[in-house]
Structure 1
Amino acid sequence: MKKTKVLLPFILFLLVLVATRAQEQTPIPEVEELLGKMTLQEKIGQLNLVTPGGGIATGAVVSENVEAKIKAGQVGALFGIAGPEKIKKAQEYAVNETRLGIPLFFGSDIIHGYRTTFPIPLGLSSSWDMDLIGEVARISASEATADGINWNFSPMVDIARDPRWGRVAEGAGEDPYLGSAIAQAMVKGYQGADLTAANTMIACVKHFALYGAPEAGRDYNSVDMGRLKMYNQYLPPYKAAIDAGVASVMTSFNDVDGIPATGNKWLLTELLRNEWGFNGFVVSDYTSVGEMIEHGMGDMQQVSALALKAGLDMDMVSEGLLNTLEKSVDQDIVSEEEITNACRRILEAKYKLGLFEDPYRYINPKRAKKEILTQENRKTAREFAARSFVLLKNHNEILPLKKEAKIALVGPLADSRSNMLGTWSPTGKHELAVTIIEGFRNVAPKAKINYAKGSNIVDDKDYAKRINVFGQRIDIDKRSPEIMLREAIEAAEASDVVVTVVGEATEMSGESSSRTDISIPEEQKKLIRAMVATGKPVVLVLMSGRPLTIPEEFELPVSILQVWHPGIEAGNAIADVVFGDYNPSGKLTSTWPRNIGQIPIYHSMKRTGRPSSTPDAYEKFKSNYLDVSNAPLIPFGFGLSYTKFAYSDLKVSKNEIGFGEDLDVSVTVKNTGDMDGEEVVQLYLRDVVRSVTPPGKQLKGFKKIFLKKGETKRVTLTLRPDDLKFYNSSLEFVAEPGDFEVFVGTNSEKTLKTGFTLKK
């Protein structure tokens, strides 16, 4: 017994040593040789990321004297420029005019396509199609690298459960399981199997961490969250990206446990590197090093040292590392070894890209002319956009419309080219987007289209000015609202059916675009009411970058097609669905609240000790509201089709399983309608009793299937051992024996139910 007690600490030491060494990367001889030649100043220069401006910035600061800094060896990477000529010139400065000729790499925000713009990420996630999402990333990488870009600030994998936060548009919604699958698909799509290939690029997962949970839904705001919630609900998509081999990580603007993420050693070193084994490099977000001063963490020298010692490798635009680290070394605040380690990770990334072998690998004017915005890519963008749309309601089965109908096409977004691409499309060209009226004419040339704008997106000029910061997204018409509304009524009265295109302008969601009122603007509500009052069948085509509160519209006798911001082929894709050339198959990846008072609301909320007996019932001394139901307006996973699907005969392969065993869950799905269609079969799990209070249900599997009309399929989803695990109060990833409930169905609320037991 005594011998065992003596050996135990030694065994633990060996296990820790083995784990630590497993995380260490084999040194790259070429990198180590280069490090041996570098001065301290040259190492610090590699940690500096700058932008000369000219593109869409994410802050008020633009780097100065960029050319001179490159030639002085004070720049490691550049972003905000594109095109073979410009990038070649900058690369020549680095290679030919610095002492060691270390090449730059070139970054960009390619969030949902480079020149070929796809739907916003929230829209893409609604496809629930990992092959599609991976292909979007692959095409994005192919086009971007053809224009000289080799580092992408994407994917954004922040879990977002507060739709007031504008950047919900950039992510995959509220669920960590789905978000993890999408993170992996995007990383693999960007990076491919070989980073030295000229059509692949470094991905950068962001924003590490918890950025999607700001207090009050206000961008850049503080985040306050316990470790259990972090590990079980918010961290999984970042971890999935790390496991997929993502080469870089970007820090977030918010604090974590009271320390800004950019200077948080627990986050960047203990969790990211030591626990998860990440071997790539970490870059700050735009000026987030310098912004730690406003957080109250010290002056520029102090926050720069804090960031480096925490595990940051590259400083985006603040230039705090560039201008203070040498002084901090002299004062023994940081060591040259810490700077060398950061520099090593930057150089290793350049080596993996093949830049030391050929600094001009990504500079090929022939590729730029041949591979960007091809007709094939535009065709793919059209197909993928259609697959992202979610049919929220089909009143009296108005949809799909006949191609010979008389159609009143009204609304401020029906002929708005500048609002099709969506937020965070700095490399797209709005002028090349297909408007909705153009799409209708392309797809249904025999239809009689009576167009009227009907209303402005908003009438408030000051509000419009804030939204138009990157160009005109809201055009306030010179005609009065009354005249525009009368024109829309006249168009409706002369038509068989009304298609009303309403929602958000592009920059009403996205970065620095938080809203406290996420309903459709009142100007557009008046238009919708007027169209319904005509007595004609009404279809709402709803465009937004976030879930909206639409209880009034949902109760009206209208059909509603949610199209997000669909990208460059927006009009054609919308017409394809409206006229039935494609049967919609999208499903929501964020819960839609009844009003902002329900926020946060999401499908995996925990039960309380005083749950309501039904979501719609009010009971005193139960967890509910006086004025509204607990239930969302539209649940997670919801989406209709032009056909119908029936679920039956839910079974598990075993009633009892042991630890480490898989479990098959099967269900019969039948297309009972009159059209071929696709359905997303969703599996949810509930751990009935466990040591940490469980969510009511959690998504743990899904499969997208195609069924011809009348066809029946037996669909099998497999639960893996890790699907039963969670982080307990000791932050151990464990499964506990006991009963589990299994739910399978068409959305998170409409499911069949069975169960099984995990044996001790």
Structure 2
Amino acid sequence: MSIRIDALMAQMTVEEKVGQLNVTADMVRPFAPDINPVANEQNADQVLQLIRDGKVGSLFNGKGKHGAVELQRVAVKESRLGIPVILAADVIHGMSTVFPIPLGETASFEPDLARRTARATAVEATAQAIHWTYAPAIDVTRDQRWSRGAEGTGEDTLVACRFGAARVQGFQGETLTAEDALLATAKHYVAYGASLAGLDYNTVDIAPQTLRDVHLPPFQAAVNAGVASVMSSFNDINGVPASANKPLLVDVLRGEWKFNGITISDYTSEMELVAHGYAEDMKDAVLKAFMAGLDLSLQSGLYLEHLPALVKEGQVPMWRLDQAVRRMLELKERIGLLDDPYRSLRMQDITAEQLEQHEDLARESAKRSIVMLKNESRVLPLKKSGQRIAVIGPFGRDRDNIEGCWTLFGDASRYVSLEDGLRAAVTDESDLTFVDGCGLEEGIEGGIEAAIAAARQADVVILALGEPQRYSGEAQSRIEITLPAVQQRLADAISDAGKPVVALIRNGRALALHGGVRKADALLITWFLGSQTGHATADVLFGDYSPSGRLPVSFPQASGQQPYYYNHPRTGRPELPDIKEFKTRWREIPHEALYPFGHGLTYGDVRYNATELNADVMPRGGSICVSATVTNAGERVIEEVVQLYIHDRVASRVRPVRELKGFEKIAIEPGQSVEVSFEINESMLEFTDVDGVRRAEPGAFDVWIAPSCVAGTPGRFTLA
């Protein structure tokens, strides 16, 4: 207990206590109305008066030190108790320097890379007077129609755990009192990525065991990494909205995991309990959310409006109010704000040297995020001279769809387009021809004809296609996860021009690729790569860097496969090639991905030997070692993502066909063979059984060390 906080709370009125739980928009500075609905709108004078009255604990979506200093001055000098406010913002994947969207960066399979980009983001954000970010998103996304998968880590739980923890550590740094420490928020708690039909905000109907085994572990990993706050999600879970879900907000988060930070609603999510039909009116919504363990109200203003009366009436006991207020004050104390209200508000602007370092990191992160799915006849890498290249498609010269969703503060003057990057890479710019062919969603008169003519004059074609960036992010769910029709027509026309085609796809989710894109000689997934898009893409195209990214999501054969994920349970009538009918199949396509989770190619020739084990039996409480020799038979240095998968052959609950249990990215010289080993222990074999108990059951297990979820030669061991 803090004596200072005890003294503060002893002086506070009920209204001032409730004020600490109110998070409101800072109208002194713009707060991005394009990405949030208008709610509880107030002008700057009203916000300042609320601060004077001690009725604001935190303000969000601000930018700029001058306004922040004035807000803090009012809080410290003009409010009765002088309690400083925390300044927050949605800083998701970069501040002025924009890094790849989180899903794209996850394709690197390098959690430490995510830690480093989060650290750079924290340095830039705190220099702009921001203490707290509403990131990282660690939703596991198994349906690619859902648009917010771009903010997360894909379809695998282990990957979400590792990247979530890394981003928390990067944002928050080594000590929370450092001026460049940025408080992190694990979101969206929980199972938001499991919304039915991939429809944003939709209901989640989920088995308790799946909730436990798939969607909760990333949040536990974030808590173990020291995350300062957890944000509730918009959805209900088996009929109980996440923002009023006491078993999850209290029993699991506080009881099982011993989380000691703050919980916060998503934007007006506690207000939405009424629309859910879970609360009778706004006052009832506040009562149910607050008593379920939701500490802070984001933007609705409902806590401010209704909590004092609920306390006076005895419906909310004083201990619960004091509990939430103490958590908020402890958070302010933990980051040094009570000792130094102007922490992070005096920092110097980012220097030109720092910006250069961050741009180098952005380029590194972007090139490591690119996934090469296909490279027939070794059309890649391209030549920097003596090769005529036609760059066709709306993303060739585009500068407006570089950053991806949820980027509020990026410095667009520093963005490097694909055209910029290609021109900087080639010896003679006259070897490059750029033709849009069509717009992002609309045709251009004569565009396809001009594109075909350019293709016929070239030695190789780069097709620059993809989703507009507004197709990803909040409330952008899609029915057909395909390219816009006009772009598909362009791709099909170029495919028939008879020239080698390299397709670059810019996207915020896995896509169903068809026609000319699927037929392309080479196919690269380039996501939304951020500030250094052009240079990073050129690095890969021209062979300065061998692609090392791997898919964190399965690319389906068709949109109708959704939801599709690699670690699906076995069925009683599996898809087997020697069975023609009466099996788990679609009439039109096989029950498999077009490009599976974990897949990705390099410029090397990678070969895996069979998986070997140092023992056939694992004793209870013991471990075994599995290994495989990986060889680079090519002529270039490569980086290979070596993946460990396990399958429980017989269990009391049907188990997934494979589950990722480990991964490591290694560099391999030409002609070199490397032995890669993983240790498997009993905890890696555990799952939640029919009684809700997490345990490992004795029996046989298959194990693979492989380059993807469908590759490799398995070994087998038994848990005694």
TM-score of the two chains, using structure 1 as the length reference: 0.92
1:593 aligns with 2:576: no
CA contact (8 A) 1:152 1:203 kept: yes
* Alignment correspondent of 1:244: 225
Q: Is the 8 A contact 1:618 1:626 kept in 2?
A: no
TM-superposition CA deviations, 1:722-759 (whole Å, max 9, x none)? 11111112222211111111011110001121011111
Partner residue of 1:60 out of 12, 32, 38 = 38
Question: How far did residue 582 of structure 1 move?
Answer: 0.6
Q: Which runs of 4+ in 1 moved over 6 A?
A: none
Q: 1:383 and 2:361 equivalent? A: no
C-alpha distance in 2 between matches for 1:392 and 1:554: 12
Q: Which amino acid aligns with 2:634?
A: G
**Separation in 2 of the partners of 1:555 and 1:45?**
56
CA shift for structure 1 position 336 = 1.9
1:300 corresponds, among 282, 288, 307, to 282
Whether 2:639 is the aligned partner of 1:658: answer no
- 2:197 counterpart SS class: helix
Q: Show the counterpart of 1:556.
A: 519
Partners of 2:685 and 2:240 in 1: CA distance: 32
Where does 1:596-615 land on structure 2 (aligned, <5 Å)?
Answer: 596-614=559-577
Does residue 570 of the first structure (1) align with residue 570 of the second (2)?
Answer: no
Q: State whether structure 2 residue 40 is matched by structure 1 residue 77.
A: no
Opposite residue 435 of structure 2, the aligned amino acid is A
Which moved further from structure 2: 699-708 or 557-566?
A: 557-566
CA contact (8 A) 1:501 1:542 kept: yes
The CA deviation at 1:431 is 3.7
Pick from 603, 625, 628: which aligns with 2:586? Answer: 625
Partner of 1:451: 434
Structure 1 counterpart of 2:433, which letter? Answer: N
Query: 1:237-268 CA deviation, whole Å, 9 max, x = no partner?
Result: 11111111111000000001211111111111
Contact 1:50/1:63, CA 8 A, preserved across alignment: no
Equivalent pair of 1:208/1:250 in contact (CA under 8 Å): yes
Report if the CA contact (8 A) 1:114-1:428 is conserved: yes
Task: Give the structure 1 partner of residue 684 of structure 2.
Answer: 723
Partner of 1:532: 495
1:550-595 C-alpha deviation (Å, 9 max, x unpaired): 0334541431111000000101111111111110000001011111
Of 46-55 and 676-685, the range deviating more from structure 2 = 46-55
Q: CA deviation at 1:446?
A: 2.0
- Please tell me whether the aligned partners of residues 201 and 353 of structure 1 are also in contact (alpha carbons under 8 angstroms): no
- Mapped contact 1:167–1:510 kept (Cα < 8 A): yes
How many angstroms does 1:109 deviate by?
Answer: 1.2
Residue in structure 1 matched with residue 337 of structure 2 by the alignment: 355
Q: Deviations over 1:514-554 (max 9, x none)?
A: 11011111111111122222211111110000000003345
User: Is the 8 Å Cα contact of residues 394 and 464 (structure 2) preserved in structure 1?
Assistant: yes
Q: Which amino acid aligns with 2:553?
A: S
State whether structure 2 residue 180 is matched by structure 1 residue 199: yes
Q: Which of 653, 656, 672 matches 1:695?
A: 656
Q: Is 1:279 matched with 2:253?
A: no
| Ranges in structure 1 where 5+ consecutive residues have no aligned partner | 1-26, 460-479
**Which residue of the partner structure matches residue 3 of structure 1?**
none
Separation in 2 of the partners of 1:207 and 1:372?
Answer: 35
CA distance in structure 2 between the partners assigned to 1:338 and 1:555 by the alignment: 57
Which position in structure 1 is the counterpart of 2:504?
541
For residues 274 and 164 of structure 1, the distance between their equivalents in structure 2, rounded to whole angstroms, comes to 34
* 2:128 alignment partner in structure 1: 147
Partner AA of 1:30 in structure 2:
R
Match 2:72 to one of 69, 91, 96: 91
- Tell me the equivalent position of 1:472: none
Higher mean C-alpha displacement, 445-454 vs 198-207 = 445-454
Contact 2:501 2:520 survives alignment (8 Å): yes
Aligned pair 1:318/2:292, yes or no?
A: no
Partners of 2:350 and 2:690 in 1: how far apart? 56
The answer on whether the counterparts of 1:254 and 1:261 sit within 8 Å (CA) in structure 2 is yes
Tell me the residue number matched to 1:473.
Answer: none
Identify the range of structure 1 (370-379 vs 716-725) with the bigger mean alpha-carbon deviation.
Answer: 370-379
Structure 2 counterpart of 1:437 = 419
Structure 1 partner of 2:710? 749
Q: What is the CA-CA distance between 1:63 and the residue it aligns to?
A: 3.5
2:6 maps to which residue?
32
Output the aligned Cα RMSD: 1.4
Contact 2:40/2:301 (<8 A) preserved: no
Q: Retained in 2: the 8 A contact 1:417–1:431? A: no
Paired residue type of 2:461? V
- The total of aligned residue pairs comes to 710
2:380 equivalent to 1:399: yes
* Cα distance change on mapping 1:372 and 1:198 into 2, 3 Å: farther
Corresponding position of 1:115: 96
Q: 2 CA distance for matches of 1:520 and 1:430?
A: 25
2:300 is the alignment partner of 1:328: no
The answer to whether the aligner puts 1:184 opposite 2:165 as a matched pair is: yes
Partners of 2:494 and 2:516 within 8 A in 1: no
Contact 2:639 2:665 in 1 (8 A): yes
What percent of counterpart residues are identical? 39
Q: What is the letter of the counterpart of residue 144 of structure 1?
A: A
**Does 487-496 or 315-324 show the bigger shift?**
487-496
Aligned partner of residue 202 in structure 1, secondary structure = coil
**Residue 649 (structure 1) shift:** 4.0
Deviations along 1:444-482, one digit per CA (max 9) or x if unpaired, are 1424111111101102xxxxxxxxxxxxxxxxxxxx634
CA contact (8 A) 2:381 2:541 kept: yes
Which segment is superposed worse, 50-59 or 711-720? 50-59
Q: Deviations over 1:160-213 (max 9, x none)?
A: 011111101000000001111111111111112210011112110000011001
1:417 aligns to what SS in structure 2?
coil
Query: Are 1:551 and 1:633, in contact at CA under 8 Å, matched by a contact in 2?
Result: no
CA contact (8 A) 2:495 2:516 kept: no
CA shift, 1:330, in A, is: 2.1
Q: Secondary structure at the match of 2:98?
A: coil
1:341 maps to 2:320: no
User: CA–CA distance in 2 between the matches of 1:193 and 1:338?
Assistant: 31
Mapped to 1, the partners of 2:496 and 2:503 lie a distance apart of 14
SS at match of 1:751: coil
Q: Distance in 2 between matches of 1:317 and 1:743?
A: 48
Q: Which of 513, 519, 523 is the equivalent residue of 2:476? A: 513
Structure 2 distance, partners of 1:34, 1:342, is 14
Work out whether residues 116 and 372 of structure 1, in 8 Å CA contact, stay in contact via their aligned partners in 2: no
**Distance in 1, Cα, partners of 2:356 & 2:56:** 37
Aligned residue in 1 for 2:244 = 263
Distance in 2 between the 1:492 and 1:145 partners? 48
- Which whole-Å CA distance do the structure 2 matches of 1:287 and 1:43 have between them? 20
Mapped partners of 1:379, 1:63: distance in 2: 40
CA gap of 1:371–1:184, structure 2 versus 1, over 3 A, is farther
TM-score by length of 2: 0.97
Change over 3 Å in CA distance of 1:192–1:132 after alignment to 2: same
